[in-house]
Copies of this chain bind each other. A is one copy, B any other.
């Protein structure tokens, strides 16, 4: 296992959903110790959170600026190694930039930034500092997603033809943001989320997953982006026809007004010789559909899977793993990269299997292309990074 990394956190105060997820994901495998945090822009709230987490009060900060400066001044044996940034989208860029510039590695919730410009700027900083940055596109962490990717890359499907990815949610079917729901409020607020609502919040996950598993890139989009709940400023519903490179086409659905749906992310990829299907409600299963043969139910934890799947599984087959484990897989991979960095063996982020700044840029480009396409009468809009 090796030594635990010392982790700091920006955001994730009381009532935050994703901050708690990051903490559990980091804890699960015993590879991180949370040592400090700036959990809220309110010093009082930050203090309260730090106290609840049992942190040294001296390392619970009222602002991320204060945290980075103070932590950077501590001796290496004490100071944090890396920071989790789990704030709403409009507070991603500044802390990430500052963390990198103070020598800290960064693991950041998606989407990478508030805008494509911010995302590109961040990439420059990653490159100039040479530090490690990971982006938590959770779903790429599932072992059966790794297996799906392995099936594609190893040629079992033959030449790819179709990619269908959908992420239907129903929780924003009514105007929860008007009822004080914190999660709904920032997600529907363009000053906090950026130019994308559902397309940023979940559409980026769908697009990222399709590209990750297929190994392809979206090249053109034809989007229909809607506001279903009257009064909203940001989209809560979208669909798009997609073109990928290598002559592959597809369909993407990302909606938050499919009443009754939870987080039903689903990916289907078809090639000449067969198809794969994965659904988030049953994440330890991958369906393999060879042409003219029986469908096979591939299961996490079994002996017949690829190394990529196996190394991202903790339990034998039939003991279900879930979202936190997928999330933790990204933390484990990021841990390995940072440890390698510290030991001098780190060469390139591409040697590690976690989403990075390039995925983040493509995510922001996805959002802006969806918006651009939606505003256009032309059928196809180029996906430009």
Complexed CA–CA distance, A294 and B298 (Å): 5
Pick the interface stretch among A17-25, A110-118, A185-193, A336-344: A17-25
For A277, give the chain B residue with the smallest CB separation: B260
Alpha-carbon distance A263/B300, docked complex (angstroms)? 12
CB of A210 closer than 8 Å to a CB of B: no
Once A289-B261, A292-B304, A315-B323 are accepted as A-B contacts, the answer to whether A53 and B270 lie under 8 Å apart by CB is: no
Q: B residues within 8 A CB of A325?
A: 322, 324
Assign chain A's interface to a size class: 35 or more
Interface flags for A312-323 (1: CB within 8 Å of B; 0: not) read 001111111111
Judge if A281 is at the interface, Cβ distance under 8 Å: yes
Q: Which B residue sits closest to A228, measured CB to CB?
A: B161
Are A318 and B260 in touch, CB under 8 angstroms? no
Question: Given contacts A161-B257, A259-B274, could you give 14 more A-B pairs where the C-beta distance is less than 8 Å?
Answer: A1-B52, A4-B54, A21-B314, A24-B28, A24-B30, A27-B27, A28-B28, A162-B255, A173-B291, A263-B319, A282-B282, A296-B297, A322-B325, A378-B379
Q: Looking at A173, A174, A257, A290, which has the most chain B CB atoms within 10 Å of its CB? A: A173
A258–B171 Cα gap in the complex (Å)? Answer: 31
Q: Identify A322's interface contact among B157, B170, B317, B319, CB under 8 A.
A: B319
In the complex, which of the residues B17, B54, B318 contacts A3, with contact meaning CB atoms closer than 8 Å?
A: B54
A66 at interface, CB cutoff 8 A: no
Q: Mark A3-39, 1 if CB is under 8 A from B, else 0.
A: 1100000000000010011011001111000100000
For the complex, is A239 an interface residue (Cβ under 8 Å from B)? yes
Contact flags A152-178 to B (C-beta < 8 A → 1, else 0)? 000001000110101001110110000
A162-B237, A294-B297, A295-B296 are known contacts. Are A272 and B324 too (CB-CB below 8 A)? no
Residue among B170, B262, B270, B298 making CB contact with A270, cutoff 8 Å: B170
Instruction: Give the B-binding residues of A (Cβ under 8 A).
Output: 1-4, 17, 20-21, 23-24, 27-30, 34, 52-54, 157, 161-162, 164, 166, 169-171, 173-174, 222, 224, 226, 228, 237, 239-241, 249-251, 253, 255, 257-264, 268, 270-275, 280-284, 288-299, 301-304, 314-325, 376-380
Which 5 A/B pairs are nearest by Cβ-Cβ distance? A260-B289, A262-B318, A263-B318, A320-B322, A294-B296
A277 to chain B, nearest CB (A): 8
A124 to chain B, nearest CB (A): 34
